[in-house]
Amino acid sequence: MMEPRVSLITLGVADLAVSRRFYEALGFVASTASQGDVVFFQAGSMALALYPRAALAEDATVSDSPAGFSGITLAHNLRSEAEVDALMAHAASCGARLVKPPQNVFWGGYSGYFSDPDGHLWEIAHNPFFPLDDAGNLHLPA
């Protein structure tokens, strides 16, 4: 049986150096485990990796289809609406493309979206129903 957790998310990127600079500007710190064509960042209890898109598709034995909505978004939850606004502004200053400005949303929270240099979507949200612990970890209600 699979343990219900995610250990690593790997983003396929067109230009590893551009993407690394973008994520470092956001505040991610590259691990010394990064080497050659892969960059690793600690992201709470999991890790985020950047890897050349074509090589990632080849490794998974799938075609490298043109970019578009992949059906996946990454989310970063914060403790307040003000923190959402501040992070969205910071992301824009780092070169993110703002896709949806932060706003009150139908489910009772506050969120917006930006995309990284490769079009990977990040939702930046304050969800008053999902509290964060002191380390920033999200805990779903039991």
Architecture label for domain 1-59: Roll (3.10)
The segments of the chain whose pLDDT lies below 50 read: none
Whether the domain at 1-59 and the domain at 72-133 fall into the same CATH topology: yes
Which fold, 72-133?
Answer: 2,3-Dihydroxybiphenyl 1,2-Dioxygenase; domain 1 (3.10.180)
User: What per-residue confidence (pLDDT) applies to 21?
Assistant: 97
d(CA 35, CA 31): 9
User: What per-residue confidence (pLDDT) applies to 62?
Assistant: 86
Domain ranges of the chain: 1-59, 72-133
